[in-house]
Amino acid sequence: MKTLIISAILCLSATILSAQEIMLDATELTYVPLSKSISQKGENLTYKVQERFNGQFAENPIAFMNAHFNIHKVIAASANKNFDTYLVTFKSNNGYLQADFDNEGKLLKTYQKFKDVVLPLALRQQMHETYKGWTLVKTKYAAKTKGDLLVKATYRAKLKNGNERQNLKFDAVDQGIGVAVN
């Protein structure tokens, strides 16, 4: 019994001694959502995007750019160089977005091109009804904007059915679909 009481006292004292409050200096934590690297050649910048999941960047590249890139910081860092425009290329594993900004940070135009994209539901349904028995082999998406306005957008799809092949092209602007808009 005596051993039990002494053991309990030793355990309690060890617990109390190890639970002392330690004051640390304040630390600033930052959250970096994506691994990225930027390289610059004159007014041309290349931003390599590493996506969290395949197709994240291609879902809405302009919204991704607005969320993860600040052109005003680039302009401030290169203020002594007096560039008229800045061409920023965002590259991912399945495509890219080229954005052209003026020297005040206004988006002038974009061009984007992606491969192996998920087609919009309306296109998938239309293709399924029209091409029953065919297998979707490859998809591509290309779009152009003036500022934030979608000017041209096309989807291309390659289908296969045995030895037969079919190449399809869809104008996404006329059909009211596309991923180039915010």
Residue range 45-67, pLDDT digits in tens:
788 887 777 778 888 898 888 88
Buried b (16+ CB within 10 A) or exposed e, 78-102: beeeebeebbbebebebbbbbbbbe
Task: Tell me the average pLDDT of the chain.
Answer: 80
All residues at 6 or more sequence positions from 30 whose CB lies less than 8 Å from its CB, including other chains: none
CB-based contact 36:47 (threshold 8 Å) = yes
CB 105 within 8 A of CB 99: no
Work out the average pLDDT over 28-32: 42
Domain range summary for the chain, segments of one domain joined by +: 30-110, 117-176
Lowest mean pLDDT among 30-39, 69-78, 169-178: 30-39
Of the chain, the percentage scoring pLDDT greater than 90 comes to 29
Residues 122-168 have pLDDT tens digits of 888 888 898 999 999 999 999 999 988 889 999 999 999 999 999 99
Indicate whether 181 pLDDT > 70.
no
Find the range with the poorest average confidence among 8-12, 20-24, 119-123: 20-24
Quick one: which of 117, 121, 107, 118 has its CA closest to 62?
107
Give the whole-angstrom CA distance, residue 170 versus residue 64: 24
Q: How confident is the model at residue 19 (pLDDT cuts 50, 70, 90)?
A: low
97-109 per-position pLDDT tens digit:
999 999 899 999 9
The answer to whether the pTM exceeds 0.85 is no
pLDDT level of residue 179 (50, 70, 90 thresholds): very low
* Average pLDDT rounded to a whole number, residues 72-91: 84
Average pLDDT over residues 20-37: 49
Q: How far apart, in whole angstroms, are the C-alpha atoms of residue 147 and residue 109?
A: 5
The answer to whether the beta carbons of residues 144 and 152 sit under 8 Å apart is: yes
pLDDT for 1 = 74
pLDDT at 17: 57
* Strands (E) located in 10-163: 36-41, 44-49, 85-92, 95-102, 107-115, 135-146, 149-161
